[in-house]
């Protein structure tokens, strides 16, 4: 079962011409007739980062120059994660018409979603560059680790979207449950704070949170710090176990998904 769903995923990857086109079309449609177009994504993120930096740097009593890149990188990475997870719940539900009319592997829709969210993420990277430039943080050799880090993050988000898409198509309460959890996960994940801010006896909260590692593996290279071996190991393990779970779930439901949506 895992083998057949794995082969189906490979077929979906081969249809890059389809999911690249559909993802880009989704972005264009969302901002159709807008003056700034997708730059509204960047502007909204810029305002959010500015507001959060002013408030939380005061709450945590941190120097605003050191807090700004932390907040900017954390928020941009989290927006990418949250977008893939929340939209992943409606992955097959919103694509029901396409599923019934276009003969293509269903995993095409998962890759379409990840590509769309990656476009938004690339727009938001402008905010990161502004924050880094304003605080005098420049590119270093550690920054190059951003590329394998974003690849690993994307790999993890792809299996999450596929898994949640299948589960939400079968159980329609799933999107509501996930949306309710997103806000709590944001507060419990070191997006606007660092693990060192917590008392030693409570740092386990961050270490047991898998999203801590997904945020840190991308944020640390952006601010010129190499992620530790433990972070790489956890994210790699999440990708391996997660894809096995997602392919197993997808394999069991693949022939029935068209009827569920």
Structure tokens, 161: 């979207």
Answer whether residue 88 shows pLDDT above 70: yes
Quick one: which of 192, 222, 226 has its CA closest to 206? Answer: 192
CA distance 253 to 61: 50
CB atoms within 10 A of CB 74: 26
Nearest CA-CA partner of 120 in 31, 49, 27, 192 = 27
CA atoms of 91 and 96, how far apart (whole Å): 9
Position 254 confidence tier, pLDDT thresholds 50, 70, 90 = confident
Q: Show me where the domains of the chain are located.
A: 2-260
Range from 95-109, 152-166, 180-194 carrying the lowest mean pLDDT? 95-109
- Reported pTM: 0.92
Q: What pLDDT is stored for residue 172 in this prediction?
A: 86
pLDDT at 260: 80
What are the C-alpha distances in Å from 230 to residues 27, 29, 79, 108, 236? 36, 41, 24, 32, 10
Mean pLDDT of 9-19: 79
* pLDDT digit string, tens, across residues 178-228: 988 998 899 899 999 888 888 888 899 899 999 999 999 999 999 999 999
Helices (H), the chain: 2-14, 16-30, 39-59, 64-88, 96-101, 107-134, 146-170, 174-188, 204-207, 210-222, 229-253, 257-260
Where does the pLDDT of residue 236 fall: very low under 50, low under 70, confident under 90, or very high at 90 and above? very high
């Amino acid at each position: 079962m895992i083998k057949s769903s794995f082969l189906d995923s490979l077929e979906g990857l081969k249809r890059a011409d389809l999911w690249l086109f559909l993802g880009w079309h989704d972005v264009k449609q969302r901002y159709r007739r807008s003056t700034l177009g997708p730059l509204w994504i960047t502007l909204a993120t810029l305002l959010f980062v500015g507001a959060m930096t002013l408030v939380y740097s005061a709450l945590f009593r941190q120097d605003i120059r050191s807090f700004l890149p932390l907040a900017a990188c954390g928020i941009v990475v989290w927006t990418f994660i949250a977008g893939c997870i929340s939209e992943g719940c409606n992955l097959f539900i919103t694509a029901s018409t396409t599923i019934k009319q276009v003969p293509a592997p269903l995993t095409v829709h998962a890759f379409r979603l990840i590509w769309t969210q990656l476009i938004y993420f690339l727009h938001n990277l402008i905010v990161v560059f502004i924050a880094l430039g304003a605080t005098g943080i420049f590119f270093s050799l550690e920054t190059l680790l951003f590329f394998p880090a974003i690849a690993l993050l994307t790999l993890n988000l792809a299996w999450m979207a596929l898994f949640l898409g299948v589960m939400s198509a079968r159980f329609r309460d799933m999107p509501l449950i996930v949306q309710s959890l997103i806000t709590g996960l944001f507060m419990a994940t070191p997006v606007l704070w660092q693990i060192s801010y917590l008392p030693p006896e409570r740092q386990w909260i961050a270490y047991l949170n898998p999203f801590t590692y997904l945020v840190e593996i991308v944020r640390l290279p952006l601010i010129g710090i190499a992620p530790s071996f433990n972070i790489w190991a956890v994210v790699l393990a999440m990708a391996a176990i997660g894809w096995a779970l997602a392919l197993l779930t997808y394999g069991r439901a693949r022939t029935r998904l068209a009827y569920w949506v």
